[in-house]
Amino acid sequence: MRWLSPLEPGDRHHTLRTNRFEGIGDWLLETSEFREWRGGEGGADQAVLFCSGDPGVGKTHLK
């Protein structure tokens, strides 16, 4: 499988999951934008959901 890519997204996800702050950002999963995208009824036109986050209240600042 390394033949396909040297990147290991599973490792990164595990680290982020382990250090995740519970209860932060959960509200996204309840927005209508997320639900509609997740429902997948819109075909190719609604294939993409883009979440934009400014730097500012970043991890570095809160630590």
Partner 1 sequence: MSLTARNSSSLVIDRLCNQTREEGLAVAWLYCDYQAHQEQTVINIMGAIAKQLVGKGGIPKDIREAFQEAKELGGRRPLLPDLMRILRIAIAKLPQVFICIDALDECLPKDLPKPLESLRDIVRESPRTRIFLTGRPHVREAIHRYFTKAVGTPISSNEDDIRNYVVMRLDRDDVPEAMDNSLRAEILRIIPEKISNMYVDISPLSTMYTY
Question: Per-residue string for binding with partner 1, 2-41, x by CB under 8 A?
Answer: -xxxxxxxx-xx--xx--xxxxxxxxxx-x-xx-xxx-x-
**Radius of gyration in angstroms for the set of CA atoms belonging to the chain, rounded to a whole number:** 16
The number of residues that bind partner 1 (CB under 8 A) is 48
CA distance 42 to 36: 8
CA distance 44 to 8: 28
Site for partner 1 in 42-61 (CB under 8 A): 43-59
CA distance 33 to 41: 12
- The contact set with partner 1 (CB under 8 A) reads 1, 3-10, 12-13, 16-17, 20-29, 31, 33-34, 36-38, 40, 43-59, 62
